[in-house]
Amino acid sequence: MFGAPYDSRYAPPVLGQTSEVYSRYFNEFMALVEAVTKKTQKKAIIFGHSYGGMVALEFVRSTPQAWRDEHIEHLILVAPTLPTGFLGALQTFIVGTDMILVPTATITELSARPMWRSFESAMVNFPSPAVFGRQPLVITKKRNYTAYDMEDFLAALGFGEGIEPFRRRAVPKMYSFEAPMVPMTCINAVGNRTPLQLVFRGDDDFDEPPEVAAYGDGDGEINLLSVLAFDREMGRQPGQEKRFKSIKIANANHTTVTINDFALKRVIQEIIEVNQVHS
Please calculate the CA angle 42-48-49 and round it to the nearest 5 degrees: 150
* CB-CB contact of 270 with 278 (8 Å): no
Nearest alpha-carbon partner for 178 in 3, 15, 2: 15
Backbone dihedral region for residue 158 (phi beyond 0: left; psi -120 to 50: alpha; all else: beta)? left
Contacts of 124 (CB under 8 A, 6+ apart): 11, 89, 169, 170, 173
- Amino acid occupying residue 4: A
**Residue 249 to residue 110: CA distance in whole angstroms:** 33
Instruction: Tell me phi and psi for residue 191, to 5 degrees.
Output: 90, 15
**Residue 193 to residue 217: CA distance in whole angstroms:** 6
List the catalytic residues.
Answer: 50, 219, 254
Nearest alpha-carbon partner for 28 in 61, 6, 58, 57: 6
* CB-CB contact of 248 with 236 (8 Å): no
Detail the DSSP E strand segments found in the chain. Answer: 44-49, 72-78, 138-139, 144-145, 184-190, 194-199, 211-216, 244-250
How far are the Cα atoms of 90, 112, 119, 125, 210 from residue 101, in angstroms, in the given order? 19, 8, 14, 20, 21
